[in-house]
Amino acid sequence: MEGRVIKTTGSWYEVQTPEGLLKARLRGKFKQDELKLTNPIAVGDYVLLQKEKDQETAVISEILPRENYIIRKSTRKQHFSHILASNVDQAYLVVTVRNPRTSLGFIDRFLVSTESFRIPASIIINKSDEIIKEKDKEYAELIKEIYEPLGYPVILISALYDKEMIPVFGSLLEGKTTLMTGHSGVGKSTLLNRLVPAARQTTQPVSKSTSKGTHTTTFAEMFPFGQDAYIVDTPGIKEFGILDIGDEELSHYFVELRKYLGQCKYNNCRHVNEPGCKVLEVLEQGYIHPYRYESYLKILYEEDDHR
């Protein structure tokens, strides 16, 4: 029978099937189009499986082709990657301006990953109740200033206290499979609990000594939301390493650079210091935000630490 993976717990998977929820495992190893993965099966995957004889468990025999997926480099195994979720309709990156502070570089790396599969992405600035200091207000405004003109909606919300925005945000998720991710401590679990009370995700305060969050979500899981909708919750991400995107390909995943592709003097232009580069021309004219171009260069040269 066919089913959809809604939770991964190491070697076992929970699969939603026409017969209900089944606990399933893999039989043998799966080769996945030359991808070296730490997780051969991801939440959101559609699979074929068979019930084991005289057992309440099943065996997964095949992973059906993925429409899309969001992937990052593994932080534990070199040259391996980790799929956050597959077959998603949209993605929300939950960020905070302090405790912990989400860097623009981290946001850009996430957006490069979503753009590579043309997955619509939005940014949620959570803990709006803590945005009191002027520098925090300025950072929140900077995020809106950079990303909204590029077509990435930015939503300011307080998962703890916002009574009006929670249902408004929930309406944006109806009928879709939505990935929700971000650093540990940004309030993903709190937001999920407000949207899906039955989720009962554990929450913990951010460490006062390090200003960083603690992992409360240990495995990726998909939660039913309303009618024909799911929210995929992932463990907090410390780093977001980009997977093998070539130098000449990277600019395709920056929307403001993509519009000028084909207008440079040279076809293999990397938009760094080449003569006749259209991107450098419009950057100087102020049509490309300098922070975004800086992120582009850092990813190109792999200069930052993905945080």
Summarised one tens digit per residue, pLDDT across range 217-276 is 457 899 998 888 999 998 888 777 776 677 888 999 999 999 999 999 998 899 999 999
Closest CA to 210 of 184, 187, 173, 235: 184
Cβ neighbours of residue 66 closer than 8 Å, sequence gap 6 or more: 45, 86, 87
Please tell me the pTM assigned to this model: 0.87
Q: Which amino acid is at 226?
A: G
Q: How far is CA 162 from the centre of its chain?
A: 23
The pLDDT, as a whole number, for residue 201 is 60
CA 128 – CA 272 distance, rounded (Å): 37
The pLDDT, as a whole number, for residue 213 is 41
pLDDT: which is higher, 123 or 225: 123
For the chain, give percent helix, strand, coil, nearest 5. 25, 25, 50
The pLDDT, as a whole number, for residue 218 is 55
154 pLDDT tier (thresholds 50, 70, 90): very high
**CB of 244 closer than 8 Å to CB of 33:** no
- DSSP string of 3-64? EEEEEEETTEEEEEETTEEEEEEE-S----TT--BS-SS-TT-EEEEEEPTTSSEEEEEEEP
pLDDT at 208 exceeding the cut of 80:
no
Q: Which amino acid is at 294?
A: E
SS3 at position 164 = coil
Residue 104 tokens, joined: 């623009």
The pLDDT, as a whole number, for residue 72 is 81
Summarised one tens digit per residue, pLDDT across range 100-121 is 999 999 999 999 999 998 999 9
pLDDT: which is higher, 33 or 283: 283
